[in-house]
């Protein structure tokens, strides 16, 4: 894996896009024109923290690093009920597919560290938002 953060983002996007197809638009980056109701936005918001130094051995036969970083998933809906339901679905979908995240995208762990409602900005009537932040541990192998 040569692009660990991009690969992790792709994994989260792929799972959520399949879950919400036909219900909400899933964006893998924040849209330039802003988020619209019925959308889910994935952003990389945390810095990188290496657990092992570059090219250090973490097993007898493999070298690599473990990277801890943070992704934010924002859920935008037209009402609070959809916002809350879709937010719960995001959490459940990532949990239910943790083996796919690990085996396909190198995400060893993801942990929900923040879940909060964000009030609408002035002029954003009927735009209900919840922010979910996940700490993510990514396995980067250099065999």
Region 117-138: mean pLDDT is 88
Q: How do residues 14-29 score in pLDDT, each as one tens digit?
A: 999 999 999 999 999 9
Query: With 0-12 CB in 10 A as exposed, 13-18 as middle and 19+ as buried, what is 60?
Result: exposed
C-alpha–C-alpha distance, residues 124 and 120, integer Å: 6
- Which residues lie closer than 8 Å to 133 by C-beta, 6 or more apart? 45, 46, 70, 71, 72, 73, 112, 113, 114, 115
Residue 4 pLDDT greater than 90, yes or no: no
Q: How do residues 90-118 score in pLDDT, each as one tens digit?
A: 999 999 999 999 999 989 889 999 999 99
pLDDT bin (cut points 50, 70, 90) of residue 30 is very high
Write down the mean pLDDT value for the chain.
87
Task: Tell me what pLDDT residue 78 has.
Answer: 92
Region 78-98: mean pLDDT is 95
- The H-or-E segment that residue 46 falls in is none
| Residue of 121, 29, 106, 107 whose CA lies nearest to 72 | 29
Q: CB 110: neighbour CB atoms within 10 A?
A: 22
Which domains, from first to last, does the chain contain? 4-141 (3.30.2000.10)
């Amino acid at each position: 894996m040569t692009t660990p953060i991009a690969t992790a983002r792709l994994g989260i996007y792929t799972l959520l896009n399949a879950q919400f197809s036909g219900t909400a638009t899933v964006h893998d980056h924040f849209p330039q024109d802003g988020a619209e109701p019925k959308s889910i936005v994935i952003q990389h918001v945390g810095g990188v923290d290496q657990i092992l130094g570059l090219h250090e051995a973490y097993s007898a036969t493999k070298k690599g690093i473990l990277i801890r970083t943070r992704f934010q998933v924002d859920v935008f809906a037209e009402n609070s009920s959809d916002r809350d339901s879709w937010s719960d679905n995001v959490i459940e979908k990532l949990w239910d597919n943790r083996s796919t995240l690990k085996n396909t995208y190198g995400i060893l762990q993801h942990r929900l560290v923040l879940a909060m409602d964000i009030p609408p900005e002035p002029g954003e009537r009927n735009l209900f938002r919840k922010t979910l932040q996940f700490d993510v541990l990514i396995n980067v192998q250099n065999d």
